Structure 1
C-alpha cells in the first residue's frame, strides 16, 4: 500500500473508496492527512461517473482524532497559522458533509475526536462490534467546535451535552443507540455489510439520490442550516482554544503520560 496519507480509487460502477492511511499513528490527522482528504475529494469531483463514496481507515483503527504532537506544534505558531489549521480541518469535514453523492463510512477500532465528526458528516455509518467512540477534545484542553454542528445533527444536542463534556468512551452498540452509527456487525463482516449498502444505493436513481440528500441537508443544523458567519466564528474559537493555557497543559499531560492539572486557570 502507498505511503500517501489518504488513498482513493474508483471502480467501474462509480464507487470510490477513500482510505485514511496513517496506520502507524492509528490514522490520527495532521496537515498531510487533511490535505490528502481535500485532494481526494477534488480529484473524485472531476469523475463524471462517481456514484458513491466509501470511507475507511487502514489498520486496527478507523481514526483516532488529531495527532496531538502535530497539534502542539501548531499551537506554538501564530494565531493566523492556528486559524489556517482549523479552517483546513473544517473544510475537510464540511466538504465531506456536503458531497452531492451518498457516503458510507466503515468503522473499526477507535473512532475518537475528529473521527466522530467525520462519521457524523457521512450519510451511512456501519461499525464493527469492536469499535469504540469518544469525543475527546476536552481531555486535552481543546474544544470540538468545528464538528459540533455535525454531531448535533447525528446524535442530538442532549447526547452531545453528555459525550462532548465527559469525553468518555462508549461502545458500538451505544453509538447505534444514540444515532452515531446505523448498524453494528462483527468485524469480519464489516466489508460485506458495506458492500450490501453500496449495492442498495447503486440500485437507485443518481439524480434522485442527489436531490434527496440536498433536501435533507436543507433542514439540518450541521449541513446547510449553519451560515458561513457562524462557521467562521467556530473556526476562530477552535483555533483560539488551541493556544490557551488549558490546551498547553492538556497537551503536556498527553506528552508526559500524566493526569492534567487544571488548577491554574485558563
Structure 2
C-alpha cells in the first residue's frame, strides 16, 4: 500500500480527489472517496442509483461543498473556490438535461458561450469578428451540427441538443469536461457519434462521464470507477470491473 501511495503522489494528475466526504443530515452521500484522473483520459463513473455519482460532479464544480477532503484540479484546490471560479479555472460541466437557448440558432448558442463574452466588460464590447465565426464553425463541425448553424435550437433532435450543449462547453476550451449521462435518450447512431466525439476531444482535455449505458461505457472508457454507497467499489478497465464479483452483485447483476 505504501508503494502505491508513493507512486500516486509522484504522478501528475489533472484531477486528484482525496478523502472526499459530504454529509446531508448525517447521511454520507460521498464517503472518504479518492479518485485520480490523468491527462487526456476518459474516466467513466458507474454504479446503482443513489451511489453518489452526480454528487461527485456537484462537489467538483462547487455546486455542493465538501464536508471533508480535497479536490485538486491541476494543483489548484477547488473546495476553496465558488462555481464561477471553478469554470474559469478550466472545468466545464454538462447536466443530464440539455441547457440551451431554444429560441436562438445553433450559431447564436455557440457564439454566446465564446469566452470573451463571459464577463460584464466582455459582453458589452463583444463583436462577431472573424475569430468568433471561425471558432463557432470549427466547434459546430466537431459536434455534427456544421450544416445546422442557422437552425433554431428548438428544432434539433434530443441528441443534437445534447451535442449543442457539449459544443457550448467546448468553445470555452475546458481542460476537464464533465458529462452527466450524455447519451440518455439518444438513438443508436447518435450514441455512436457521441462516442466518436468524446474520443476526439480527449486529444486536448480529460473527460469525466457518468453513464448507465454499458455498451457506450465500453466504447469510450479508458478507465471505469464503480461507486456504491459513496465509495469506490471497483476500478480499472471495463473488462476488469465487469468481471468483479462485487460489481456483479450490487450493480450489473440487476
| TM-score (normalised: structure 2) | 0.26
Relative contact order, higher structure (CA 8 A, sep 6+): 2
Larger radius of gyration: 2
| TM-score (normalised: structure 1) | 0.25
